[in-house]
Structure 1
């Protein structure tokens, strides 16, 4: 086994490590943005063609939309080292990281369990401040005044790709409580991806790395109301609430479950190992128990009484009744 790693150029932190023995060639290039620097050093799995490559392998395909909104985009090709487009490198590299997390931590062969090819469309539209799963693939905008390129965050990539996991399994309806649960599962999967690739506990701040501001995040999983719109308990749920804001109920439950697994206290600090352990309950529930119309209460019961013996012991959470897209 040949193990490799890549390092954050600013902090020296090990961002990812992996088995370097591959059947396909690898390429390298820059990633990240002005806020988060990274180098994909011999880590991008590509299809070789002499001294050139194309980002189209058995598991992954990445295309350049060139600011268009229709069509399939152009499969990225060029010289092996370096690949100079950070947004494209991040989309391709993080897609591979998600596939590896699903295999290594969840025992899944891609999002459908049967090797579904992960397709990323990068440079979608002009100044587009979002990313989304369209039912078959990921679309990443370049951002503008609020965001850096949306492909530049492991948790955003994990979020969007795992909407596909939900599509292939519970197929949670994207409205009402099931819609909030759908969004929450993707938020959770994003943080699990972050923990997997960064080799540390996740920050539980969805999309922090793509915010141009120093402190912004799309959602605050351990304190959902911090954004001024999200809720963190079932008593505050109202029909018609945006699914991104109702996701806070399950997000906080996951955060507390990770903390309890890590420290024995629901308010303790998360760890990478506890994140992996807690994630199994949500993945198993999504695959084996949840249905299109699952509510928060039903989801809690599923996560606390999972049918799979691979999740043990049980996490202890339920949607609190105290008062107080599919896109990122």
Structure 2
């Protein structure tokens, strides 16, 4: 097999070709494990959403840049850099993690598996939610594109939670599964170059992570749980407080081993709330979601007439 690792970064190969080209057998095995988990996550997401699109073709661009992109033709292109980022991620040792460490003792690559599942599920959401078709219909207004990113972030967060729940839900409590999901997404996005492009289309990761936190508070454990988007039930309120503590602990741990002079997520979260950014994005999504439902054939409508239509995600 040709060694694709040393070929021009612009080349795009199949995932199988990329895996076959990895000379380090240990690293190759880790990559295989990560993507086996990704495929299971996508399959579960597709079935749960009732999508008829089918699973995407995953390809790898031999670039050290850390990016992922959904192609309107139905494929997802990941760079070698984003794969390496997930697998080489430096996080606290499981014994020293700021949240419950028990889950991370099961597999040293658990954060990598969940992080990559979130990245690929985000891109898959753009495909099966027909975002490209909706954009062609509504136009490329900033609020439309922002709503797409919001939708993909939250669909992916719920998908990763469901995936971890299916793997260890019989061993660990619901809140432990949520904490592990939140932490894994945190460490992946916190250590990526920020996506904020000053156009407003891709908000800072701090804002996106805030919404992911809220999603993991309200996503239901199973079909018997009452959907509680306003956190009115005591059980949801307890869950909210514990997940906020997890997010704060992760940010403190990150700042403890990185640049302490930067503002960090704490200041950015405060500014985000003060300018009502956390509700503005919801209103953007409420305007776009009926069209996503119409074009994709999946439940999405979060308009005022159907405020809780997205509860099965």
Q: Could you say which TM-score interval applies, normalised by the shorter chain?
A: 0.3 to 0.5
TM-score (norm 1): 0.45
Higher relative contact order (CA 8 A, sep 6+): 2
Higher strand share: 1
TM-score (norm 2): 0.47
Higher helix share: 2
